[in-house]
Amino acid sequence: MRMRNKYKKPTSLNCYAGSRYRFSLVVCSFIGCLVMLHFYFLNQSQHSQHAVMRMNNEHPFYRDLVEVEDENIKIPPPRKRSPRAIKRKPKRPTTLIEEFLDESSQLRYLFFPSQRTAIDPTKDAGNESLYYHPGRIWLDTDGNPIQAHGGGILYDDRSRTYYWYGEYKDGPTYHAHKKAAARVDIIGVGCYSSKDLWTWKNEGIVLAAEETNETHDLHKLNVLERPKVIHNKNTNKYVMWMHVDDVNYTKASVGIAVSNSPTGPFNYIKSTRPHGCESRDMTIFKDDDDMAYLIYSSEDNSELHIGPLTQDYLDVTDAMRRILVGQHREAPALFKHEGTYYMVTSGCTGWAPNEALAHAAESVMGPWETMGNPCVGGNKIFRLATFFAQSTFVLPLHGFPGIFIFMADRWNPADLRDSRYVWLPLLVGGPVDRPLDYSFGFPLWPRVSVYWHKRWKLPYKWSGKK
Ligand SMILES: *[C@@H]1O[C@H](CO)[C@@H](O)[C@H](O)[C@H]1NC(C)=O
Ligand SMILES: *[C@@H]1O[C@H](CO)[C@@H](O)[C@H](O)[C@H]1NC(C)=O
Ligand SMILES: *[C@@H]1O[C@H](CO)[C@@H](O)[C@H](O)[C@H]1NC(C)=O
């Protein structure tokens, strides 16, 4: 950042200083360019050396994670149509995205594999044990599909247990009115516990919908999305933040609930418009110094806002920064690696998948710079559609710095309860990424990569059987 000013200022000044300075301007710019190039390559080679050291690490599973896995999906020939139908609506080539959104597509099984392929961690799966299969139905220890959509994970130090919270959507999908998006009435926030991040026990609905009181935020005809839970050391409470809205998404608020136990029940406190602004997709992030932050889509989803929570995590403070202004991003998922903050977001296209972007910042309050699409592998359409899923959370893998689990939702708007989970390895490192934002290339960030895999698993250390 400092470099930018140093070389930019003299240039713009000289531009207006007359021909006398023109020669020295050219020389100065040339030297400036050389210096910048030097730093650029120095920076780049440092980063890639770093990355190589990482990848040669003693854990062979690094190799499996970063293996680029392609997908070659052929779009089937169009179904036979009557000459009349063809005349009415001329045939045009379909895209994979259209096939994905088409409930009667012949390719549906690729995106929403049948019950027959469900992952059942309670059955002895032999060598398939502990493998994630993005997109397949994932059963809990009772044999029911996990209901934790738009979720996030809390690691509880004391019980050494992972808790996965998300929207419990096991109800019928319908449209509230002609123009409304597909929805399921609020049932509540589901909670699942696990030691190995693969076998999940249903801990029940830890925050339930309100059945009768129509003025209550959580009345079943309203909206509850993206619940996230963090623990407050000082108050020893588990604090949940979520997006609460009315059926038409005009309330645009956050809701806050609190519990003494990770498995609830959570007591709903209130909803609020943080900093007096609209708040739709959101997440909370707890930093190493126990400061927590709320990040939310605002101003008609055109920008994100970020601000610290109060000490007890039950409210926001007055401080707020507008970030990624005009970029129209939602579904934020924040994480931190070696002192740098990262975020993955999606575009705003309702239930339809779109392209993810990675962002980075030296300070959590910004400025945030946008890097490229983090997706690696699959095929081009897979990468442009975030593997047909939308970010919801990024979970650090304890003991493996630089490796994270990217958690995303493959929404099924025809039957939202049957939305699937896409969990993939996310790695920070490797060749540097160039910010897409206007920038002289300083600072350059290590690349954030989400690798596509049909199946993959965590290192042996994570096995419950160790
Ligand atoms: C798992 O075991 C089955 C049967 O023993 C075998 O056919 C399959 O190839 C194995 N898969 C892997 C990934 O090792
Ligand atoms: C209904 O909910 C509102 C808002 O939470 C609350 O103020 C009111 O007391 C509730 N009414 C009943 C009858 O519980
Ligand atoms: C939502 O919008 C529809 C159509 O504009 C309207 O009929 C309905 O009353 C609205 N409902 C709420 C709760 O705002």
- Per-residue pLDDT tens digits of the chain, which is 466 residues long: 333 333 333 333 333 333 444 545 555 455 555 545 454 444 443 444 344 334 445 567 788 899 999 998 887 776 666 777 667 766 666 788 999 999 999 999 999 999 999 999 998 777 888 999 999 999 999 999 999 999 999 999 999 999 999 999 999 999 999 999 999 999 999 999 999 999 999 999 999 999 999 999 999 999 999 999 999 999 999 999 999 999 999 999 999 999 999 999 999 999 999 999 999 999 999 999 999 999 999 999 999 999 999 999 999 999 999 999 999 999 999 999 999 999 999 999 999 999 999 999 999 999 999 999 999 999 999 999 999 999 999 999 988 899 999 999 999 999 999 999 999 999 998 666 666 665 555 567 889 999 999 999 997 665 433 3
Instruction: Ligand 3, residue 246: give the atom nearest the CA.
Output: 13
Query: Are the beta carbons of 448 and 66 closer than 8 angstroms?
Result: no
Cα of 281 vs centre of ligand 2, distance in Å, is 26
Which residues make Cβ contacts (< 8 Å) with residue 135, sequence separation at least 6? 111, 112, 113, 388, 410, 420, 421, 422
Regarding the beta carbon of 248 and ligand 3, being less than 6 Å apart is answered: yes
Rounded Cα distance, 179 and 85, in Å: 26
445-451 and 375-376 beta bridge pairing: parallel
Ligand nearest to C-alpha 218:
2
Could you tell me the distance, in angstroms and rounded to a whole number, from the CA of residue 127 to the centre of ligand 1? 6
The protein residue whose alpha carbon is closest to atom 3 in ligand 1 is 127
CA distances from 419 to 173, 237, 247, 248, 426 (A): 11, 31, 20, 21, 21
Pocket test for ligand 2, best of 216, 220, 251, 256 (most atoms within 8 A of CB): 216
For ligand 1, atom 12, name the residue with the nearest CA: 127
Ligand 2 contact, 215 CB (< 6 A) = yes
Identify the bridge partners of residue 303 per DSSP, sorted by sequence position. 298
Is 276 strand, coil or helix? helix
What one-character DSSP code corresponds to residue 174?
A: E
Q: Convert 205-274 into a string of H (helix), E (strand) and C (coil).
A: EEEECECCCCCCCCECCCEEEEEEEEEECCCCEEEEEEEEECCCCCCCEEEEEEECCCCCCCEEEEEECH
Peptide bond into 262 cis (omega under 30): no
Pocket of ligand 1 (CB under 6 A): 126-127
Phi first, then psi, for residue 166 (nearest 5°) are -170, 175
Name the nearest CA neighbour of 293 among 276, 308, 275, 313: 308
Would the CA dihedral through 434, 59, 455, 466 be positive or negative? negative
| 229 close to 262: Cβ distance less than 8 angstroms | yes
pLDDT in tens, 286-309: 999 999 999 999 999 999 999 999
Q: Among 210, 214, 215, name the best residue to mutate to test ligand 2's pocket (greatest count of ligand atoms within 8 A of Cβ).
A: 215
Q: Out of 127, 131, 133, 456, give the residue to mutate to test ligand 1, the one with the largest number of ligand atoms within 8 Å of its CB.
A: 127
Taking every pair of Cα atoms in the chain, the longest distance, rounded to a whole number of angstroms, is: 82
- Taking CA atoms only, the protein residue closest to ligand 3 atom 1 is 248
Q: Which atom of ligand 3 is nearest to the CA of 250?
A: 14
Taken in order 340, 343, 344, 348, the sign of the CA dihedral is negative
Percent of the chain with pLDDT over 70: 80
Residue-level pLDDT at 86: 67
Segment 178-219, tens digit of pLDDT:
999 999 999 999 999 999 999 999 999 999 999 999 999 999
Q: Measure the CA–CA gap between 236 and 259, rounded to whole angstroms.
A: 9
Token pair 């052929």 is found at 74
Ligand nearest to the CA of 128: 1
Q: In sequence order, what are the residues at sequence separation of 6 or more whose Cβ sits closer than 8 angstroms to the Cβ of residue 101?
A: 352, 413
Separation between Cα atoms, residue 429 and residue 374, nearest integer Å: 12
Q: Is the CB of 213 under 6 A from ligand 2?
A: yes
> Is the C-beta atom of 247 inside 6 A of ligand 3?
yes
3-state secondary structure of 58: coil
Closest CA to ligand 2's atom 6: 216
- 8 Å CB contact between 380 and 70: no
Report the separation in Å between the CA atom of 195 and the middle of ligand 2, taken as the mean of its atom positions. Answer: 38
Q: What does the DSSP 8-state code read for residue 444? A: P
Q: Cβ contacts of residue 9 below 8 Å, gap of 6+? A: none
Q: Which of 327, 413, 322, 377 is nearest to 134 (CA)?
A: 377
